[in-house]
Structure 1
């Protein structure tokens, strides 16, 4: 018996509540929500790759690309419109992912993980040594506009917030539909047995290539939103610790549902915020302990608290002497 899919409805309701709540949220909380959604979009890509048996330590590569597209778009191209910058970041991530994906889709297991990490660190090294791009300090992002209209500081914050809620909802829904598509299920099959996938008429490399493109675009959009939210970009966006943070969130939330990425991102930001406030010298230790507890007691992530994994009941065998 098939259960009704409530995820699209949940996405709409949560996005609407967040959008209407801006008027009552304090400024710091609204900024935190934007951060949570931005990182969740990157983690959607991490989870997409994990579903196909790949672990990426280099999503910071596209996260940084999206951020620098926003920064350079305003500085060099004089493009400051929020929607145009997000579109440009998505397009740049798609182009970069389509090129690098031709190579990455050929690797598996630890080789994929290390190769993705190496690419991100190459970008970090190039940016940190570029004096024109601010070296290790980075540079500020130009004041954003919307549909050609100049915005005050408060108006810009509102526009970024509402746009983030809308974009987050659209990507969450599109990713959910992708997971439910034949190509999405093929990714799960590739993680189990690539040879059987080939027998079914799918190309494992093509499936992984498509998943890599999804991860590239979502990470670039997440980086672009982060740059707009903070008004600054730097090479640390591509550093390995940033990529590790995304993997951390993916493990916390789990891969059972697209909403798990947003849950993991929200819990991560909450734990880090209060850990920094009450134990600024030991917040890394606190985060590590939290992850260990989650992995030990909830191996499927925090989402298993909301939607426990269903046990598969096997049919009982009939007694040997029973007549047919």
Structure 2
């Protein structure tokens, strides 16, 4: 029987993060579960029933890089042999009209969804590069990278930037045998839309709309945001078909494939709603590209042959 792998997972107090912990423990893997106020918020029954292969570690993804570097060094020694999988799962979401978003809100959502995972990954990379066995860095992203909704521009933009970063990072780390991938999830019932601080009080996201929320404050955008919230609350299971436990099981299965040397996409869409909406987006994008090709190609300098060089296309290929 092969020895257990060690996972460090962020955002494990609920939702997909907690489901990942439960799935891995059921497979007798080692898990470092992290989050803010992790000891008080994490299910105590899991801690008592898995004393040997579950460790809790306080980690706020919004911390500066030097602090995350010290956390990485501490985490590395919690299980023999270091860490095999870093799973950047923590995130936040909210509905907010673009015009009304405060600097605090914008800074926080980008820090939690983008800058935090980037910094934590930076903190672990020296440890991973010096580790001679193959390791995996996984991220929970969103299908909204392809299909941004109105009133969720900051969330979608932060996740789009994350997925773009992951696509580039995966190519940078190939020579070091470090695998990188993003799971771009559709609607899933989690606590993703809950505010990190009560002072921010963002409106609920599609991920947390299980019951009708109070009506938004009267603003020029009240009708639009109410219409969107009403769409989700009309039939929440239809708009959020994703199961956290099934998502987690699939994520672990895909990572296992990587560790067996199988090839998987750098960006993998999860959820039937995500697949259909992304597929529609790609069809529409192709239609727009073809209809407006003459405009796009008409901006080249005179005398050039046009198009991209073969080696450039190879460098940017997602396959």
TM range (shorter): under 0.3
Structure of greater relative contact order (alpha carbons < 8 Å, 6+ residues apart):
1
